[in-house]
Structure 1
Amino acid sequence: MPDPRRQIIGRRSKAFGDAFERWLTNACEFYLKEGWAHIEKTPEPFHITGKDANGVVRGYYEKKGQPDYKGILCDGTGIMFEAKHTDSDRINQSVVTDKQWESLDIYERFGAHCYVMVSMGLMKFYRVPWDVWKKMKELFGHKFMTEQELEPYKLQEKQCTILILEGVELKDENTENGIGAETE
Protein backbone atom coordinates (compact mmCIF):
# COMPACT_ATOMS: atom_id res chain seq x y z
CA MET A 1 0.00 0.00 0.00
CA PRO A 2 1.44 3.42 -0.95
CA ASP A 3 2.65 5.62 1.87
CA PRO A 4 0.56 8.86 1.78
CA ARG A 5 3.40 10.88 3.33
CA ARG A 6 5.82 9.81 0.61
CA GLN A 7 3.21 10.66 -2.03
CA ILE A 8 2.80 14.16 -0.60
CA ILE A 9 6.57 14.67 -0.41
CA GLY A 10 6.90 13.41 -3.99
CA ARG A 11 4.20 15.79 -5.26
CA ARG A 12 5.78 18.71 -3.42
CA SER A 13 9.22 17.93 -4.80
CA LYS A 14 7.83 17.66 -8.34
CA ALA A 15 6.01 20.99 -7.95
CA PHE A 16 9.21 22.65 -6.67
CA GLY A 17 11.19 21.14 -9.56
CA ASP A 18 8.62 22.49 -12.02
CA ALA A 19 8.80 25.94 -10.38
CA PHE A 20 12.60 25.89 -10.65
CA GLU A 21 12.34 25.12 -14.38
CA ARG A 22 9.86 28.00 -14.84
CA TRP A 23 12.32 30.34 -13.11
CA LEU A 24 15.13 29.08 -15.37
CA THR A 25 12.94 29.62 -18.43
CA ASN A 26 12.22 33.17 -17.24
CA ALA A 27 15.97 33.73 -16.87
CA CYS A 28 16.50 32.45 -20.42
CA GLU A 29 13.88 34.94 -21.66
CA PHE A 30 15.71 37.73 -19.80
CA TYR A 31 19.03 36.84 -21.48
CA LEU A 32 17.36 36.70 -24.90
CA LYS A 33 15.81 40.13 -24.36
CA GLU A 34 19.23 41.49 -23.35
CA GLY A 35 20.82 39.94 -26.46
CA TRP A 36 23.20 37.70 -24.51
CA ALA A 37 21.85 34.23 -25.29
CA HIS A 38 19.08 32.19 -26.85
CA ILE A 39 18.43 29.18 -24.61
CA GLU A 40 15.35 27.00 -24.93
CA LYS A 41 13.72 24.37 -22.75
CA THR A 42 13.99 20.97 -24.40
CA PRO A 43 10.48 19.55 -24.77
CA GLU A 44 9.91 16.25 -23.06
CA PRO A 45 8.94 13.50 -25.51
CA PHE A 46 5.23 12.66 -25.34
CA HIS A 47 4.01 9.29 -26.61
CA ILE A 48 0.41 9.38 -27.86
CA THR A 49 -1.49 6.18 -27.22
CA GLY A 50 -4.76 7.25 -28.87
CA LYS A 51 -7.81 9.50 -28.82
CA ASP A 52 -11.15 8.93 -27.20
CA ALA A 53 -14.53 9.57 -28.85
CA ASN A 54 -14.43 13.25 -27.78
CA GLY A 55 -11.04 13.78 -29.43
CA VAL A 56 -9.15 13.92 -26.15
CA VAL A 57 -5.60 12.67 -26.68
CA ARG A 58 -4.29 9.99 -24.34
CA GLY A 59 -0.62 9.37 -23.78
CA TYR A 60 2.31 9.61 -21.44
CA TYR A 61 5.62 11.41 -21.12
CA GLU A 62 8.49 9.16 -22.05
CA LYS A 63 11.56 8.89 -19.84
CA LYS A 64 13.64 12.04 -20.03
CA GLY A 65 16.38 11.68 -22.55
CA GLN A 66 18.06 15.01 -23.13
CA PRO A 67 19.21 17.70 -20.72
CA ASP A 68 16.58 20.34 -19.94
CA TYR A 69 18.01 23.37 -21.77
CA LYS A 70 20.23 24.10 -24.74
CA GLY A 71 21.05 27.10 -26.83
CA ILE A 72 23.68 29.55 -27.96
CA LEU A 73 25.48 32.49 -26.39
CA CYS A 74 26.01 35.83 -28.15
CA ASP A 75 29.57 34.80 -29.11
CA GLY A 76 28.33 31.71 -30.97
CA THR A 77 29.29 29.24 -28.24
CA GLY A 78 26.79 26.52 -27.42
CA ILE A 79 25.35 25.99 -23.97
CA MET A 80 23.55 23.03 -22.42
CA PHE A 81 22.39 22.40 -18.89
CA GLU A 82 20.28 20.07 -16.82
CA ALA A 83 18.09 21.42 -13.99
CA LYS A 84 17.89 19.53 -10.70
CA HIS A 85 15.98 20.39 -7.55
CA THR A 86 16.39 18.88 -4.10
CA ASP A 87 14.77 19.48 -0.74
CA SER A 88 17.71 17.71 0.88
CA ASP A 89 20.97 19.21 2.15
CA ARG A 90 22.86 17.56 -0.72
CA ILE A 91 22.48 16.79 -4.42
CA ASN A 92 23.39 13.32 -5.67
CA GLN A 93 25.43 12.84 -8.83
CA SER A 94 23.09 10.01 -9.85
CA VAL A 95 20.17 12.40 -10.50
CA VAL A 96 21.64 12.99 -13.98
CA THR A 97 20.54 10.09 -16.19
CA ASP A 98 22.93 8.15 -18.42
CA LYS A 99 21.41 9.75 -21.54
CA GLN A 100 21.72 13.26 -20.08
CA TRP A 101 25.32 12.48 -19.05
CA GLU A 102 26.12 11.34 -22.59
CA SER A 103 24.58 14.48 -24.15
CA LEU A 104 26.43 16.82 -21.77
CA ASP A 105 29.70 15.00 -22.54
CA ILE A 106 29.16 15.37 -26.29
CA TYR A 107 28.30 19.08 -26.08
CA GLU A 108 31.29 19.68 -23.79
CA ARG A 109 33.59 17.86 -26.23
CA PHE A 110 32.41 20.22 -29.00
CA GLY A 111 33.22 23.27 -26.88
CA ALA A 112 29.81 24.13 -25.39
CA HIS A 113 29.41 25.49 -21.86
CA CYS A 114 27.81 22.61 -19.91
CA TYR A 115 26.34 22.77 -16.42
CA VAL A 116 23.98 21.24 -13.91
CA MET A 117 21.77 23.95 -12.40
CA VAL A 118 20.84 23.06 -8.83
CA SER A 119 18.02 24.35 -6.65
CA MET A 120 18.19 23.61 -2.95
CA GLY A 121 14.77 24.07 -1.42
CA LEU A 122 13.91 26.77 -4.02
CA MET A 123 16.01 29.11 -1.85
CA LYS A 124 19.58 28.67 -3.09
CA PHE A 125 20.67 28.18 -6.68
CA TYR A 126 23.93 26.93 -8.16
CA ARG A 127 25.55 26.49 -11.59
CA VAL A 128 27.89 23.51 -11.34
CA PRO A 129 30.27 23.15 -14.30
CA TRP A 130 29.87 19.77 -15.98
CA ASP A 131 33.56 18.93 -15.52
CA VAL A 132 33.12 19.41 -11.74
CA TRP A 133 29.87 17.40 -11.63
CA LYS A 134 31.54 14.45 -13.37
CA LYS A 135 34.44 14.40 -10.89
CA MET A 136 32.53 14.57 -7.59
CA LYS A 137 34.13 11.40 -6.23
CA GLU A 138 37.65 12.66 -7.05
CA LEU A 139 37.04 16.20 -5.84
CA PHE A 140 34.91 15.61 -2.73
CA GLY A 141 35.41 11.94 -1.87
CA HIS A 142 31.75 11.10 -2.51
CA LYS A 143 29.18 11.15 -5.32
CA PHE A 144 27.14 14.07 -4.01
CA MET A 145 27.67 17.73 -3.21
CA THR A 146 26.74 19.44 0.03
CA GLU A 147 25.72 23.10 0.34
CA GLN A 148 29.27 23.90 1.44
CA GLU A 149 30.74 22.17 -1.64
CA LEU A 150 28.21 23.95 -3.89
CA GLU A 151 29.03 27.39 -2.45
CA PRO A 152 31.65 28.38 -5.11
CA TYR A 153 28.95 27.88 -7.77
CA LYS A 154 26.21 29.91 -6.08
CA LEU A 155 24.09 32.08 -8.37
CA GLN A 156 22.83 35.54 -7.57
CA GLU A 157 19.32 36.84 -8.13
CA LYS A 158 18.32 40.29 -9.28
CA GLN A 159 14.73 41.51 -9.43
CA CYS A 160 13.39 37.95 -9.10
CA THR A 161 15.61 36.62 -11.92
CA ILE A 162 18.21 33.92 -11.29
CA LEU A 163 21.35 35.19 -13.02
CA ILE A 164 22.23 31.83 -14.57
CA LEU A 165 24.88 33.22 -16.93
CA GLU A 166 26.51 35.77 -14.62
CA GLY A 167 30.27 35.54 -15.10
CA VAL A 168 30.21 33.02 -17.97
CA GLU A 169 33.21 33.93 -20.10
CA LEU A 170 32.71 34.64 -23.78
CA LYS A 171 35.18 33.97 -26.59
CA ASP A 172 37.39 36.94 -27.48
CA GLU A 173 35.96 38.96 -24.63
CA ASN A 174 37.94 42.00 -23.52
CA THR A 175 36.78 41.67 -19.93
CA GLU A 176 37.42 38.77 -17.62
CA ASN A 177 34.06 39.21 -15.93
CA GLY A 178 31.81 37.60 -18.57
CA ILE A 179 28.11 37.98 -19.28
CA GLY A 180 26.17 40.44 -17.20
CA ALA A 181 29.17 41.47 -15.16
CA GLU A 182 29.10 44.99 -13.80
CA THR A 183 31.53 47.25 -15.62
CA GLU A 184 33.06 50.40 -14.28
Structure 2
Amino acid sequence: MDRKKVNMINNAQGKIFENQILAACLGYLYDGRACVDKIPEPFGVTKKDYKTGEFSGRFFSHKKAQPDFQGTVTGGRSIVFEAKKTEKNKIALSVLSSNQEKILEQHYRLGAITGVCVCIKDEFYFVPYALWRLCSEQWDRKYFVPEDLRGFKVKFNGAVNFLDMVNGKAVENMNIFVKE
Protein backbone atom coordinates (compact mmCIF):
# COMPACT_ATOMS: atom_id res chain seq x y z
CA MET A 1 0.00 0.00 0.00
CA ASP A 2 1.39 3.43 -0.89
CA ARG A 3 2.29 5.98 1.78
CA LYS A 4 -0.53 8.38 0.88
CA LYS A 5 -3.16 5.68 1.40
CA VAL A 6 -1.59 4.59 4.71
CA ASN A 7 -1.63 8.22 5.92
CA MET A 8 -5.30 8.58 4.94
CA ILE A 9 -6.23 5.41 6.86
CA ASN A 10 -4.22 6.47 9.92
CA ASN A 11 -5.79 9.92 9.86
CA ALA A 12 -9.31 8.44 9.66
CA GLN A 13 -8.58 6.05 12.54
CA GLY A 14 -7.22 8.96 14.59
CA LYS A 15 -10.44 10.93 13.98
CA ILE A 16 -12.55 7.96 15.08
CA PHE A 17 -10.45 7.69 18.26
CA GLU A 18 -10.88 11.42 18.97
CA ASN A 19 -14.65 11.09 18.43
CA GLN A 20 -14.73 8.22 20.93
CA ILE A 21 -13.01 10.51 23.45
CA LEU A 22 -15.45 13.32 22.61
CA ALA A 23 -18.34 10.95 23.37
CA ALA A 24 -16.92 10.48 26.87
CA CYS A 25 -16.48 14.27 27.20
CA LEU A 26 -20.21 14.71 26.53
CA GLY A 27 -21.05 12.06 29.12
CA TYR A 28 -18.83 13.70 31.73
CA LEU A 29 -20.37 17.10 30.99
CA TYR A 30 -23.89 15.66 31.29
CA ASP A 31 -22.95 14.06 34.64
CA GLY A 32 -21.41 17.33 35.88
CA ARG A 33 -18.06 15.62 36.33
CA ALA A 34 -15.93 17.48 33.78
CA CYS A 35 -16.01 19.97 30.95
CA VAL A 36 -13.36 18.97 28.42
CA ASP A 37 -13.02 20.39 24.91
CA LYS A 38 -11.13 19.33 21.80
CA ILE A 39 -8.56 21.94 20.80
CA PRO A 40 -8.82 22.68 17.06
CA GLU A 41 -5.90 21.72 14.84
CA PRO A 42 -3.75 24.72 13.87
CA PHE A 43 -5.10 25.85 10.49
CA GLY A 44 -4.49 28.91 8.37
CA VAL A 45 -6.34 30.41 5.43
CA THR A 46 -4.05 30.93 2.44
CA LYS A 47 -6.52 32.33 -0.11
CA LYS A 48 -10.01 33.87 0.09
CA ASP A 49 -12.58 34.46 -2.64
CA TYR A 50 -15.10 36.89 -1.22
CA LYS A 51 -17.37 36.61 -4.26
CA THR A 52 -17.97 32.87 -3.92
CA GLY A 53 -17.31 32.54 -0.19
CA GLU A 54 -14.68 29.89 -0.89
CA PHE A 55 -11.24 29.71 0.65
CA SER A 56 -8.11 27.59 0.57
CA GLY A 57 -6.05 26.73 3.59
CA ARG A 58 -3.55 24.39 5.08
CA PHE A 59 -2.82 22.73 8.37
CA PHE A 60 0.25 24.05 10.12
CA SER A 61 3.19 21.93 11.11
CA HIS A 62 2.68 19.01 13.49
CA LYS A 63 5.47 20.60 15.55
CA LYS A 64 3.24 23.57 16.50
CA ALA A 65 0.32 21.40 17.57
CA GLN A 66 -1.01 21.70 21.10
CA PRO A 67 -2.35 18.82 23.18
CA ASP A 68 -5.72 17.67 21.81
CA PHE A 69 -7.92 18.16 24.87
CA GLN A 70 -8.18 20.70 27.70
CA GLY A 71 -10.78 21.38 30.34
CA THR A 72 -11.76 21.28 33.99
CA VAL A 73 -12.89 18.48 36.29
CA THR A 74 -15.20 18.85 39.27
CA GLY A 75 -13.44 20.77 42.01
CA GLY A 76 -11.77 23.15 39.56
CA ARG A 77 -8.60 21.28 38.58
CA SER A 78 -7.50 21.65 34.96
CA ILE A 79 -7.00 18.63 32.72
CA VAL A 80 -4.79 18.66 29.63
CA PHE A 81 -4.02 15.64 27.48
CA GLU A 82 -2.99 14.44 24.06
CA ALA A 83 -4.63 11.53 22.19
CA LYS A 84 -2.53 9.03 20.23
CA LYS A 85 -3.49 5.81 18.46
CA THR A 86 -1.32 3.07 17.01
CA GLU A 87 -1.90 -0.31 15.41
CA LYS A 88 1.57 -1.42 16.48
CA ASN A 89 2.28 -3.38 19.68
CA LYS A 90 3.82 -0.35 21.38
CA ILE A 91 3.46 3.42 21.56
CA ALA A 92 6.62 5.44 20.98
CA LEU A 93 7.37 8.50 23.10
CA SER A 94 8.21 10.30 19.85
CA VAL A 95 4.50 10.48 18.90
CA LEU A 96 4.36 13.70 20.93
CA SER A 97 5.77 16.78 19.26
CA SER A 98 8.26 18.84 21.23
CA ASN A 99 5.62 21.57 21.53
CA GLN A 100 3.03 19.13 22.90
CA GLU A 101 5.57 17.89 25.45
CA LYS A 102 6.45 21.46 26.39
CA ILE A 103 2.80 22.38 26.98
CA LEU A 104 2.05 19.19 28.92
CA GLU A 105 5.14 19.85 31.06
CA GLN A 106 4.03 23.43 31.79
CA HIS A 107 0.55 22.30 32.85
CA TYR A 108 2.01 19.41 34.85
CA ARG A 109 4.29 21.78 36.78
CA LEU A 110 1.29 24.00 37.58
CA GLY A 111 -0.67 21.08 39.06
CA ALA A 112 -3.05 20.19 36.23
CA ILE A 113 -4.11 16.61 35.55
CA THR A 114 -1.93 15.75 32.55
CA GLY A 115 -1.68 12.65 30.43
CA VAL A 116 -1.71 10.93 27.09
CA CYS A 117 -4.85 9.03 26.11
CA VAL A 118 -3.52 6.06 24.16
CA CYS A 119 -5.05 3.40 21.96
CA ILE A 120 -2.76 0.46 21.27
CA LYS A 121 -4.60 -1.77 18.82
CA ASP A 122 -8.06 -1.91 20.48
CA GLU A 123 -7.00 -1.27 24.09
CA PHE A 124 -7.39 2.15 25.70
CA TYR A 125 -5.20 3.74 28.38
CA PHE A 126 -4.87 7.12 30.07
CA VAL A 127 -1.15 7.40 30.75
CA PRO A 128 -0.07 9.96 33.37
CA TYR A 129 2.30 12.51 31.89
CA ALA A 130 4.40 12.02 35.06
CA LEU A 131 5.02 8.43 33.89
CA TRP A 132 5.37 9.35 30.20
CA ARG A 133 8.14 11.85 30.94
CA LEU A 134 10.12 9.27 32.93
CA CYS A 135 9.74 6.27 30.59
CA SER A 136 13.30 6.46 29.25
CA GLU A 137 14.72 6.52 32.79
CA GLN A 138 12.47 3.81 34.25
CA TRP A 139 12.55 1.30 31.41
CA ASP A 140 15.65 2.46 29.50
CA ARG A 141 13.61 2.63 26.29
CA LYS A 142 11.54 5.14 24.37
CA TYR A 143 8.20 3.37 24.14
CA PHE A 144 5.48 1.73 26.21
CA VAL A 145 3.98 -1.71 25.67
CA PRO A 146 0.51 -2.62 26.96
CA GLU A 147 1.95 -4.52 29.94
CA ASP A 148 3.57 -1.26 31.16
CA LEU A 149 0.20 0.47 31.11
CA ARG A 150 -2.03 -2.22 32.62
CA GLY A 151 -2.85 -0.08 35.69
CA PHE A 152 -3.99 2.79 33.45
CA LYS A 153 -6.42 0.90 31.22
CA VAL A 154 -9.69 2.82 30.90
CA LYS A 155 -13.28 1.73 30.42
CA PHE A 156 -14.64 1.58 26.89
CA ASN A 157 -18.34 1.39 25.98
CA GLY A 158 -18.17 2.95 22.54
CA ALA A 159 -16.69 5.98 24.29
CA VAL A 160 -13.14 6.10 25.61
CA ASN A 161 -13.90 6.89 29.26
CA PHE A 162 -10.51 8.44 30.00
CA LEU A 163 -11.40 9.40 33.59
CA ASP A 164 -12.49 5.88 34.55
CA MET A 165 -9.93 3.13 35.01
CA VAL A 166 -11.08 -0.48 34.59
CA ASN A 167 -9.72 -1.08 38.11
CA GLY A 168 -12.42 1.26 39.47
CA LYS A 169 -10.16 4.25 40.16
CA ALA A 170 -11.05 7.75 38.95
CA VAL A 171 -8.29 9.79 37.31
CA GLU A 172 -9.18 12.96 39.21
CA ASN A 173 -8.53 11.09 42.50
CA MET A 174 -5.17 9.60 41.48
CA ASN A 175 -2.11 11.54 42.64
CA ILE A 176 0.11 10.20 39.85
CA PHE A 177 -1.66 12.48 37.34
CA VAL A 178 -0.62 15.70 39.11
CA LYS A 179 2.63 17.15 40.40
CA GLU A 180 2.76 17.07 44.19
Calculate the TM-score normalised by the size of structure 2. 0.87
- The Cα of 1:55 is off from its aligned counterpart by 2.4
8 Å contact from structure 2 (residues 21, 161) kept in 1: no
- The one of 164, 167, 178 aligned to 2:162: 164
Q: Provide the C-alpha distance between the structure 1 equivalents of 2:150 and 2:4, rounded to a whole number of angstroms.
A: 31
1:124 — aligned with what?
Answer: 123
8 Å contact from structure 1 (residues 13, 87) kept in 2: no
1:55 — aligned with what?
Answer: 53
- The Cα of 1:7 is off from its aligned counterpart by 2.6
* 1:36-47 matched pairs, under 5 angstroms: 36-47=33-44
Establish whether residue 91 from structure 1 lines up as the match of residue 75 from structure 2. no
1:147 — aligned with what?
Answer: 146
> Which stretches in structure 1 are left out of the alignment for 5+ residues?
177-184
- The Cα of 1:153 is off from its aligned counterpart by 1.3
8 Å contact from structure 2 (residues 73, 172) kept in 1: no
- The Cα of 1:36 is off from its aligned counterpart by 0.2
Q: Provide the C-alpha distance between the structure 1 equivalents of 2:156 and 2:11, rounded to a whole number of angstroms.
A: 22
- CA offsets 1:70-89 (integer angstroms, 9 cap, x no match): 00011100000000011111
Q: Provide the C-alpha distance between the structure 2 equivalents of 1:168 and 1:94, rounded to a whole number of angstroms.
A: 24
Q: Provide the C-alpha distance between the structure 1 equivalents of 2:156 and 2:110, rounded to a whole number of angstroms.
A: 30
- The Cα of 1:170 is off from its aligned counterpart by 4.2
> Which stretches in structure 2 are left out of the alignment for 5+ residues?
165-169, 176-180
1:66 — aligned with what?
Answer: 66
Q: Provide the C-alpha distance between the structure 1 equivalents of 2:152 and 2:6, rounded to a whole number of angstroms.
A: 27
Q: Provide the C-alpha distance between the structure 1 equivalents of 2:171 and 2:55, rounded to a whole number of angstroms.
A: 42
- CA offsets 1:4-33 (integer angstroms, 9 cap, x no match): 433322221111111000111111111000
**Which one has a larger percent helix, Structure 1 or Structure 2?**
2
* 1:20-31 matched pairs, under 5 angstroms: 20-31=17-28
Which residue type is aligned with residue 93 of structure 2? Answer: Q
Calculate the TM-score normalised by the size of structure 1. 0.85
Q: Provide the C-alpha distance between the structure 1 equivalents of 2:149 and 2:92, rounded to a whole number of angstroms.
A: 12
Which residue type is aligned with residue 132 of structure 2? Answer: W
SS at match of 2:57: strand
Identity %: 32
Corresponding pairs, count: 167
SS at match of 1:118: strand
Q: Provide the C-alpha distance between the structure 1 equivalents of 2:173 and 2:147, rounded to a whole number of angstroms.
A: 28
